[in-house]
Structure 1
Amino acid sequence: MEEKRGSLQDLLRSQTWRQRPPRGAHLNPTGFSVLSKDVPWEVESTWSTFAAYFFILHVPLSFGILPTIARLLHQSVHDPVITAASALTLQGTELAGFLTLLYYTANNRNKLPCFFIGTSYSEQRNWLKASALGIGFLLLLVLLTSILADRLIGPKDIDNPILKEILLYSPISKSTCFLLYCFVTPLLEETVYRGFLLTSIASGRKFWQAIGISSFAFSLAHFSLENSLQFFIIGCVLGSVYSWSGKLVSSVTVHSVYNAIILLFVSIS
């Protein structure tokens, strides 16, 4: 009887060991995307949350407020320092407002910081490698689409006189401009369109569908019809980098480097 009981216990132990996955096996990423399906907010309220951000924060802070600030400071709206500093302040306010919106709409507020850092699956992916590849692909695709657009539509003047004036006006305006476009803007847009929107959509759809939808929203948010295709491509590359790495820092890095290259190009052109 004791022998049978011992044999039965040994059999149960062996079966339990076989059914238990090897240590760390659950960390092996499967497929291209490693984004978590467990988001800390209601997926059903994704578009209502995005609409609240878009119409309460993005549109008002993007249009109409800069002239008001200039009048309050008794400065010209075209003053490069005022323009750069105001844009930096407004985008910082927009970022803070969106993070506040996420905080108060989240089901589990304690998961928010860890959520944007990355999931357990993302530990298997090298975000620096993803960033480097993303920058290369992004520059290549933008170059190819620019060449194609020049042949189909004709050459377009890419010089931005307002941006160039800000970059060349003074060291203060130039530093503020780089801080805005290489840090605040990438952090804001990647948090909104990749960290929140793409991840929320991907929790209920295939990742490539989420990349396409979020990139379309990213393109529309720039209110530039002539550059809409380019913004869509940029969004797709950034979304792919984020989906593969699972870390927001990778897409922020690509976005920052790309913007820095554009600023350098504008300043020397």
Structure 2
Amino acid sequence: MFSLHIPLGIGGSSIVAYVLRQPALDPEVQVISLLVVQTLELAGALLLLSTAARPEHKLTNFFQVKKTDKERNWVLASALGFGFLLLMILLTSLVTSISSGGGRAANSPIVNEIMQSSNAAKAACAFVYCITTPLLEETVYRGFLLRSLASRTNWQQAVLVSSAVFSAAHFSGENFVQLFIVGCVLGCCYCWTGRLSSSIAVHALYNAIILMAT
């Protein structure tokens, strides 16, 4: 019932296959190429935000905690956000399953193939989904986009707009609603705690749970 979105870096595997002149990549090569592309995307995003962003949107500011936010228990907020996220995804999955007359695959065929291969491929896949992807997406969509929108409008609208962009950027029409909900919960975690580490932790835990269900 659950779905796990494919990182944008998965498209890099087709480029690797073209360079290697292979119609299809082995799971190990595929996950390594995914790891490399995701790492390059993360490094590029961090470099861009560190050098080109306006002072208030500098990378170092994303991890600064305001004095008013230090009193809030970000661990408790993250735990509540994670629990609420799983509940909402479960409910939407049940609705989708009932409306479609049956369940569907938990993950993409690419992820399933990787998770059924060697332990090294599984470890690399887990690193991508639980470390690299949360860092990249939370920095871009919550740290930069949501923060930028919130400086021009109220935080509720900023969460909704950034979540819609987050969902659309995954190019998954069938998972748009679930990804939008994920974005909203992560955005609320960031806004309430004032810590990007909160949304990163929830994002990583969510991906880990879904990956374990594969």
Q: In structure 1, what residue type is equivalent to 2:150? A: A
Deviates more, 1:206-215 or 1:69-78: 69-78
The change in CA–CA distance for 1:218 and 1:206 in structure 2 (over 3 A counts) is same
CA distance in 1, matches of 2:46, 2:84: 30
CA distance in 2, matches of 1:137, 1:109: 31
The one-letter code of the counterpart of 1:107 is R
Q: How many residues align?
A: 207
Structure 2 residue aligned with 1:47: none
TM-score by length of 2: 0.89
Report the Cα distance in structure 2 between the residues aligned to 1:109 and 1:100, rounded to whole angstroms.
16
Corresponding residue for 1:241? 189
Please, which of 64, 88, 95 is the counterpart of residue 117 of structure 1? Answer: 64
**Which residue matches 2:174?**
226
After superposition, what is the alpha-carbon deviation per residue over 1:75-119, rounded to whole angstroms, capped at 9, x for unaligned? 563311111111111111111111121122233389632432322
Percent identity for Structure 1 against Structure 2: 48
Residues 82, 140 of structure 1: alpha-carbon distance in 2 compared, 3 angstrom cutoff: same
Contact 1:219/1:232, CA 8 A, preserved across alignment: yes
- Correspondence for 1:95: 42
For residues 69-80 of structure 1, the aligned pairs below 5 Å read 69-73=16-20, 77-80=24-27
2:156 to 181, 184, 208: 208
User: Any stretches of 5+ residues in structure 2 without a counterpart?
Assistant: 1-6
- The amino acid that maps onto 1:227 is N
Cα distance in 1 for partners of 2:169, 2:58 equals: 28
2:125 maps to what in 1? 177
- Specify the code of the residue in structure 2 equivalent to 1:233: I
Structure 2 residue 213 is the aligned partner of structure 1 residue 265:
yes
Shift of the 140–159 alpha-carbon distance from structure 1 to 2, 3 Å rule, reads closer
Work out the CA distance in 2 between the residues paired with 1:207 and 1:214. Answer: 10
Cα distance in 1, alignment partners of residues 55 and 43 from structure 2: 19
Higher RCO (C-alpha 8 Å, min separation 6) = 2
The answer to whether 1:196 aligns with 2:144 is: yes
Q: CA-to-partner distance for each residue in 1:117-164, whole Å, 9 max, x for gaps?
A: 322222121111111001100000001111112222332312433212
Larger C-alpha radius of gyration, 1 or 2? 1
Aligned counterpart, 1:13: none
Whether 1:146 and 2:70 are equivalent positions in the alignment is no
Give the gaps of 5 or more residues in structure 1.
Answer: 1-57
1-structure distance, mates of 2:17, 2:29: 7
Q: In structure 1, the residue corresponding to 2:54 is in which secondary structure?
A: coil
User: CA 1:165–1:213 in 2, change beyond 3 Å: closer, same or farther?
Assistant: same
The alignment's TM-score, normalised by the length of structure 1, stands at 0.71
Instruction: Tell me the residue number matched to 1:156.
Output: 103
Q: Residue 105 of structure 1 aligns with which residue?
A: 52
In structure 2, C-alpha distance between the alignment counterparts of 1:224 and 1:135, rounded to whole Å: 22
8 Å Cα contact 2:97-2:104 kept in structure 1: no
Contact 1:75–1:82 (8 Å) recurs in 2? no
Secondary structure of 1:118 counterpart: coil
Instruction: From the superposition, tell whether residues 110 and 199 of structure 1 become closer, same or farther in structure 2 (CA, over 3 Å).
Output: closer
Go from structure 1 to structure 2 and tell me whether the alpha carbon gap of 1:110 and 1:142 turns closer, same or farther (over 3 Å shift). Answer: closer
1:73 Cα deviation from its structure 2 partner: 4.3
* Deviations 1:179-229, CA, capped at 9 Å, x for gaps: 000000011000011011011101111111000000000000010000000
2:13 paired with 1:66: yes
Q: CA RMSD in A?
A: 2.1
